[in-house]
Structure formats: C-alpha cells, structure tokens
Amino acid sequence: MSLTELIAGVEDSEKTLVVHNADDSTVDSVVERFADRNVTVATASTESGPPEYVVLSEGNRVLSATSLAEIVPDGGRPRTPGFDSEPYKPILDELDETMFTSYDWRRMLAASREIEDRAWRAGEGTLYAGFQNYSTLEKQLAVYEQLGTKADLDVTAFAFPDVDLPEHERTFDVFPERAAEIRDTWFVAFDGGGDEESKCALLAEEREPRQFYGFWTYDPGTVDYIFDHLGETYLDGRSDKRPAAGC
C-alpha cells in the first residue's frame, strides 16, 4: 500500500461528532473547530446526563466521549488544531487519523515543526521527512542541519532533485528520489526513539497547487507502517541516499 493509498484509506473512514446539550453559538464553535476535518458534526439533547458533552463515533461504534470544554475551551473560543495531544487527548486519541483538508504550505510547515520539535526534544531515534522536491527542502536546510546535530537522532530527507542543493552542513542524509509518491506527498515521521507513546507522523498529498489533504497520527502501528514502507521501498539495499556536496 502506497502513501497515497494510506491517505485514501483514512479518508474513507468518516467519523461523527455529536454535541450534546449545547447552545447554537457553542455548536457553531465546534463546527468551526473541525471545519477542515473529515468529521460530521451533529447535535442532540438529553433530559439527564452531563451538560455539554461530545461523543465521537464511527458507524454504530462509539469511540470516545468527553466534556465539551475539552475541545472548545474558554467559553466557546476554539483553539487552533495542533499536534499537542494533551488539551484534546480524550478526542484526539481517536481523531488523530481523521483527514484534514486544504492545508496550505504554511500550515503544513507549522504542523511539521511539531513533529520535528518532538524528535529534537527526544534527542534519539529516527526522523524521516519528505518535502516533495529539493526546492522546498532547500528552505529547510538550516532546520535539518540543526536536527542532525543530535548524535543519536538519525535524520533522512526524501525529495525529488529538481534543483541543486547549495553547500550545507552534512549532518543529515538526503535521498534523491523521482518516484511519484515522493513528488506528490509531504510527510514527517518520528519513530519515538524507543518510546511507543512518542511515535507520530504527518502525511499529506498535494491534490491542488499548494493545497494538502492528509492526516496526522500518534498510532504506533500507523507510524511503523510509514517507516516500513519508506525503508523497504526506497532505502533497503541503497547506498546513494547522501548526495555529493553541493547537489
């Protein structure tokens, strides 16, 4: 299964978030909060039970339930979705593999930084990143040079060689690859450095010019699949993943 097929599989699994006992303005905040996610927001009222709570389901299966305040804090002012799972942990444990839509380049970069920062703080393990082409990677050289200074962190970047990379500190590996899925997808994956709970990945496909559709995940099995696919498809048995200086 390719990276784009993995994205399509997640896309086909739409979830429903039912908001219970909330007023219209609060429901509007929930709708706004999840506007770019593959989640249907519905409402319900109950005569008994906790006030203002949400239930996440997939088909007839209930995945999670939590207080509305956990996902719409501060009186209904939604926070920007991100990769820090703590504020929304009861929901994000299940929503982490729900599609986001129409992320532009800046939002993809911000999302990537969350995973890169986790790898930096861990200081060990393996980080794989794909920025589609050398033109995009070139703008991130300073970041990846810094990541590569961690002696126990193995950093590899995948990209289509559309330009020559400038001279740079060779603290990380660059793998030139012309495969379509490398050109079409943006990904950052961290294997957790031996900690299952620290595994995370971002994977998205550019379906329109500079508009990305994909998901993030903290699920160890999904992260392992991404690593296995990249390793087996592009790295196994290859000795050319570090280009010559200046390429």
Q: What is the pLDDT of residues 52-91, one digit of tens each?
A: 899 988 888 888 888 888 777 654 444 443 444 444 445 6
| Percent of the chain at pLDDT exceeding 70 | 85
* Amino acid identity, position 70: E
Distance CA 101, CA 112 (A): 16
Distance CA 232, CA 247 (A): 24
Query: What pLDDT does 74 receive?
Result: 55
CATH superfamily label, 101-235: Endonuclease Chain A (3.30.870.10)
Provide CB contacts within 8 A for 71, sequence distance 6+: 30, 33, 54, 78, 88, 91
Q: What is the pLDDT of residues 116-167, one digit of tens each?
A: 999 999 999 999 999 999 999 999 999 999 999 999 999 999 999 999 999 8
Mean pLDDT of 164-184: 93
Mention the CATH class of domain 3-97: alpha beta
Instruction: Break the chain into its structural domains and give their ranges.
Output: 3-97, 101-235
| Percent of the chain at pLDDT exceeding 90 | 51
* Amino acid identity, position 114: E
Instruction: Give which of 162, 202, 165, 164 is closest to 178, Cα–Cα.
Output: 162
The whole-chain average pLDDT of the chain stands at: 85
Query: What pLDDT does 234 receive?
Result: 94
Query: What pLDDT does 244 receive?
Result: 37
Query: What pLDDT does 178 receive?
Result: 94
- Domains 3-97 and 101-235 alike in fold: no
